Amino acid sequence: MAADLIPTRYGRVRGTEDGSVRVFHGIPYAKPPVGARRFGAPEKPAPGDSVRDATRFGSVCPQPRGFMERLAGIDRKQSADCLYLNIWSPPEPAGPLPVLVWHDTLSVPDDPDADKRALFGL
């Protein structure tokens, strides 16, 4: 089910909600590091008036496919345009919540699909 529009500094986003959790995928945290920005410092994303579809994962950064990806037939879109966040949140938080930054390079390094609900008891 579609979640309400959530305002951010850079425009509104729409994710999904299943009653126990809101999920937002592919939210940019910087402009794509391509072209003249390839080796420069990150730049803030461009603000926008349109609604960002946050129901699909963004690209993963270019990397060799590992054994598990080949074995499972996983073929994710790879691009230098890969600076995206995936966010899981309770549907109606009672107040400010801590932020957990998940960086798991010991399993499948480009797996944005891992559902983090169990970590939060959602």
CA angle, residues 7, 76, 12, in degrees to nearest 5: 5
Q: pTM of the full predicted structure?
A: 0.72
Range of the domain at 69: 2-120
Over residues 55-69, the pLDDT tens digits come to 988 888 887 777 666
29-79 confidence digits (pLDDT tens): 999 999 999 999 999 998 888 899 999 888 888 877 776 666 666 667 788
Find the range with the poorest average confidence among 2-11, 35-44, 67-76, 83-92.
67-76
Question: How many C-beta neighbours within 10 Å does residue 8 have?
Answer: 14
pLDDT at 73: 63
